[in-house]
Amino acid sequence: MPNRTIAEAPAPETGAGAPASLHQYSSTYGYSAAGSEATPPVEAPVGSRRSTRGWLISAGVVLPVLLFAAWWTISALALVPEHRLPSPASVLEAAVELGSNGTLLTHIAISTQRVLIGFAAGSLIGLALGALVGLSKWGSAFLSPTVGAFRAVPSLAWVPLLVLYVGINEDSKVALIAIGALFPVYTTVAGALRHVDAHLVELGRAYGLSRWELLTQVQLPAVVPSIVSGLRLALAQAWLFLVAAELIASSMGLGFLLVDSQNNGRVDRMFLTIILLGILGKTTDALIGLLEKYLLKRWS
């Protein structure tokens, strides 16, 4: 028997909205990793589960190995001239050369530092803006059109203005990375907070929680999984914007190494940089993935 009462009618819709908007968001970014690894396969019987899991992980190694083999074969057979496709050995040599005098480590360190600071700053601002817009009808009415307009500006379009106002220095690069990291967090957090189970919010109110307590004890914990997905997207964006910032104007960092190598015709170093960017990006993403796993277990 459906026992809907009048009292329930004005309550906003509950549930289901957050995952949907998340999904939509990640597909906008062409990025499907958010949360997908957090659910282990359940159906498989216990005995075969471990080995299935092992095979699934090994499956991810197949393609890189094939790519490497293809690369090695092509360069060994000299199908493509060395100045267009360096051999794996020469890339390794470049790594040793740059690594031995410490420059490579400096490039990596400065880039990582920029990413982390920009990511942290952008995420915090995104979290604050997202909370304002997601929690308050007035905050949303007041802010979301403007934030939406800023988000619509391709973030790299800010570069000339940043250079003009902030100058070519550390701050402008970090600022650009922060801009890149801000919007994914903003969008996911605002969307998720809007869809926090209205029943739980009402419960909090009925038990006399203040707005702040409601936020910290009910609403934020409820959106922890979404926040982590947002952070994951933001981190990917941060690396993207790092390279953009360093390509445009810098004297250090992996983006600089890329431009510098291009100018000097060092295609081996270009390969090295790209491989390093891939490894660094994947590593930081994996770290957030671990955090996500832990938080999902703790908060849902």
Partner 1 sequence: MSIASPALSTAAALGVSLSGVSRVFDSKVVLRDVDLTVAPGEIIALIGASGCGKSTLLRQISGLDLPSSGAIAINGERVTGIDLRCSVGFQEPRLLPWRTLEQNALLGLPRGTAKSEGQERVRELLRLVGLADASSLRPRQVSGGMAQRASLARALARRPGVLVLDEPFGALDALTRLQMQDLLLDVHAAEPTTIILVTHDVDEALYLADRVVLLGTDPAAPGSGASIRSITAVPGSRPRDRGDATLAHLRAELLEGLGVHTHHSNH
Binding stretches for partner 1 (CB under 8 A): 1-10, 199-200, 202-209, 217-218, 221-222, 224, 298-300
Nearest distance in Å: CB 14, partner 1: 10
Closer to partner 1 at the Cβ: 72 or 207?
A: 207
Nearer CB in complex with partner 1: 193/248: 193
Per-residue tokens: 97: 């050369």
CB of 220 to partner 1, least distance (A): 10
Beta-carbon contacts of residue 87 (< 8 Å; ≥ 6 apart): 72, 75, 76
- How far does Cα 159 stand from its chain's mean position? 21
Residue tagged 């934020």 (tokens): 220
- Closest approach, Cβ 12 to partner 1, in A, equals 15
Could you tell me the two tokens for 7? 């009292």
Nearer to partner 1, 5 or 146 (CB): 5
> Shortest distance, CB of residue 189 to partner 1, whole angstroms?
17
Q: How many residues does the chain have?
A: 300
Please return the burial class of 34, using the count of CB atoms within 10 Å of its CB with bins 0-12, 13-18 and 19+.
buried
- Cβ closer to partner 1: 10 or 41? 10
Measured from the CB atom, the residue of 53 and 199 that comes closer to partner 1 is 199
Q: Which is nearer to partner 1, 131 or 218 (CB)?
A: 218
Rg (CA), the chain: 23
- What's the closest the beta carbon of residue 297 comes to partner 1, in angstroms? 10
Location of structure tokens 């995952």:
19
Nearer to partner 1, 169 or 300 (CB): 300
Spell out the alpha helix ranges (H) of the chain. Answer: 17-28, 46-76, 88-100, 103-135, 137-152, 159-166, 170-194, 198-206, 211-214, 220-222, 224-248, 254-263, 267-299
Closest distance between partner 1 and the C-beta of residue 42, in Å? 15
Identify the CA nearest to 200 among candidates 52, 46, 72, 15. Answer: 15
Q: If DSSP codes are grouped into helix, strand and coil, which group holds residue 179? A: helix
Minimum distance from CB of 196 to partner 1 (Å)?
11
